[in-house]
């Protein structure tokens, strides 16, 4: 885990209570590669922040809000969920690698669940890094073919010129080529990233669903 990329967690301070899990620098004591940024409400999280984190070299971003249906400020978690799914502006750029984003909807007591999901997510992100490292070889001849295979619904943006192996491509290239890319409808076998935002991943059904698809 030492060589892995950092993971940013953007969390509502009323959702999963991570205070007891943090060290003095705001990282998870158990997983120092995970940095936690707290917000008054998950609705404050801008898609821009997620894009900035990935662009700055983060391996993945975890968004954590309260259970859908329960928001102290009424609608915040639904707002960020809809933004991540591209159903409410402003959304993520089409080229943003959705596999590196996970949304969790957890109530205050569910910090153990947060740890478990985060560990799984970090493994997935690391697997992506390895996959992309092999396929890219060197950066000059970046060939994202395996990524395409792993993620059928989002072929277009990754097929568009990907400059960096951390897969933040230029937005113009993506927008011109991929109208269907905004919503990955088919769940790739190795990931449950953006689709996890569709269902409340705080229920055991979501968990079993996810494991069965692997």
- Say how far apart CA 112 and CA 15 lie, in whole Å: 12
The sheet carrying 34-39 orders its strands as: 34-39, 7-12, 60-65, 101-105
What is the rounded radius of gyration, in angstroms, for the C-alpha atoms of the chain?
16
Residue 57 within binding range of another protein, rule CB under 8 A: yes
> Would you give the DSSP letter of residue 33?
T
Q: Which structure tokens are listed for 142? A: 């970046």
- Tokens 């059904």 identify what position? 205
Q: Which stretch binds another protein (CB under 8 A): 36-44, 117-125, 128-136, 190-198?
A: 36-44
User: Reduced to 3 DSSP states, what percent helix, strand and coil does the chain have, rounded to the nearest 5?
Assistant: 45, 10, 45
Residue 23 within binding range of another protein, rule CB under 8 A: no
Number of helical (H) and strand (E) elements in the chain, helices listed first = 8, 4
- Say how far apart CA 89 and CA 69 lie, in whole Å: 20
Given a contact cutoff of 8 angstroms between Cβ atoms, the answer to whether 122 and 8 are in contact is no
Interacting residues with another protein between 148 and 207 (CB under 8 A): 200, 202-205
Residue 133 within binding range of another protein, rule CB under 8 A: no
Q: CB 36: neighbour CB atoms within 10 A?
A: 21
Interface residue with another protein, options 24, 69, 141, 212 (CB under 8 A): 69
Residue 35 within binding range of another protein, rule CB under 8 A: yes
In whole angstroms, the minimum distance from the beta carbon of 80 to another protein comes to 6
Residue 56 within binding range of another protein, rule CB under 8 A: yes
Q: Which stretch binds another protein (CB under 8 A): 88-96, 129-137, 152-160, 185-193?
A: 88-96
Is the CB of 143 or the CB of 205 nearer to another protein? 205
Is the CB of 35 or the CB of 98 nearer to another protein? 35
Residue 46 within binding range of another protein, rule CB under 8 A: yes
Where do contacts with another protein occur on this chain (CB under 8 A)? Answer: 5-6, 8, 27, 33, 35, 37, 39-41, 43-46, 48-49, 52-53, 56-58, 67-70, 72-76, 79-80, 83, 88-90, 105, 107-110, 200, 202-205
């Amino acid at each position: 885990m030492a060589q892995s990329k950092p993971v940013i967690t953007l969390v509502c301070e009323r959702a999963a209570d991570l205070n007891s899990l943090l060290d003095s620098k705001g990282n998870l004591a158990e997983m120092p590669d995970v940095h936690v940024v707290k917000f008054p409400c998950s609705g404050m999280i801008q898609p821009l922040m997620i894009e900035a984190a990935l662009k700055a070299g983060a391996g993945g971003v975890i968004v954590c809000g309260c259970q859908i249906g329960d928001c102290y400020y009424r609608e915040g978690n639904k707002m960020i969920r809809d933004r991540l799914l591209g159903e409410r502006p402003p959304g993520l750029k089409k080229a943003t690698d959705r596999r590196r984003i996970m949304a969790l909807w957890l109530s205050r007591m569910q910090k153990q669940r947060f740890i478990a999901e985060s560990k799984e997510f970090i493994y997935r992100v690391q697997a992506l890094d390895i996959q992309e490292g092999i396929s890219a070889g060197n950066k000059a001849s970046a060939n994202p073919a395996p990524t395409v295979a792993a993620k059928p619904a989002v072929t277009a943006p990754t097929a568009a010129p990907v400059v960096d192996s951390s897969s933040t491509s230029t937005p113009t290239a993506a927008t011109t080529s991929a109208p269907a890319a905004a919503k990955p409808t088919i769940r790739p076998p190795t990931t449950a990233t953006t689709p996890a935002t569709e269902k409340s991943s705080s229920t055991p059904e979501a968990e079993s669903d996810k494991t069965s698809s692997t």
